[in-house]
């Protein structure tokens, strides 16, 4: 299947960009009994996430994964830790594990565009063009100005024999990002 390109950039760049996005909302654990689930500890989860990002930036995938897993111990629904674990899996060519984690992220936040984009790439790589098209369309309902999603959708539609709609998506991508080029025009 070849190495998929994750969110249009190297995984380390995605991690660095994510460090800026992560916001910390501090919540306390107040007197939970042993029969109650522990309350998320966003501060500790964010600390582990940041340490994982630093490890990933240095190229330490195993160290990064360890810290993302620790982050999940403090906040099991931390979409950023799950997403980053998926990026680590993809970087290690564990595409099935990455796909599963992207799906979990989307269960937590159905409109999380990085997970939608990367999942579309993975399912397309498995040969499921129909699901990839669905994922790109879903992404574009959330972020209509995502040039990369328009381009990928257009190319998928063209390959599926839907040339007029594919051409329209490619034109939309280029209008949003003039640095993009239509591969059909070069041929």
Task: Tell me the residue range of the domain where 116 lies.
Answer: 110-180
The answer as to whether 53 is a domain residue is: yes
151 pLDDT higher than 80: yes
Yes or no: say if 22 and 50 are a contact pair by the CB < 8 Å rule: yes
* Whether residue 165 is found in the same domain as residue 130: yes
Mean pLDDT for the stretch of residues 123-128: 96
pLDDT tens, position by position, 61-112: 999 999 999 999 999 999 999 999 999 999 999 999 999 999 999 999 999 9
pLDDT tens, position by position, 153-162: 999 999 999 9
Number of domains, the chain: 2
The answer as to whether 80 is a domain residue is: yes
More confident residue, 15 or 3: 3
Mean pLDDT of all residues in the chain? 83
Under the banding of pLDDT at 50, 70 and 90, the label for residue 30 is very low
3-state SS, one letter per residue, for 127-148: CCHHHHHHHHHHHHHHCCCCHH
* Whether residue 21 is found in the same domain as residue 61: yes
37's torsion region: left (phi>0), alpha (psi -120 to 50) or beta? Answer: beta
The answer as to whether 131 is a domain residue is: yes
User: What is the C-alpha separation between 29 and 45, in angstroms, rounded?
Assistant: 13
More confident residue, 21 or 6: 6
């Amino acid at each position: 299947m070849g190495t998929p390109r994750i969110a249009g950039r190297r995984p380390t760049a995605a991690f660095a960009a994510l460090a800026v996005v992560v916001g910390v909302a501090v919540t306390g654990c107040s007197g939970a009994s042993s029969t109650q689930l522990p309350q998320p500890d966003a501060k500790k989860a964010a600390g582990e996430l940041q340490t994982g990002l630093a490890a990933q930036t240095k190229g330490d995938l195993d160290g990064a994964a360890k810290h993302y897993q620790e982050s999940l111990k403090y906040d099991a629904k931390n979409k950023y830790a799950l997403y980053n674990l998926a990026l680590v899996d993809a970087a290690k060519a564990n595409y099935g594990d990455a796909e599963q984690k992207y799906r979990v992220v989307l269960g937590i936040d159905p409109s999380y565009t990085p997970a939608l984009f990367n999942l579309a790439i993975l399912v397309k790589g498995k040969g499921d063009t129909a699901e990839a098209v669905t994922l790109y369309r879903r992404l574009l309902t959330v972020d209509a100005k995502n040039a990369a999603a328009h381009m990928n959708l257009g190319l998928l539609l063209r390959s599926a024999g839907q040339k007029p709609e594919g051409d329209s998506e490619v034109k939309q991508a280029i209008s949003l990002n003039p640095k993009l080029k239509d591969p059909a025009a070069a041929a």
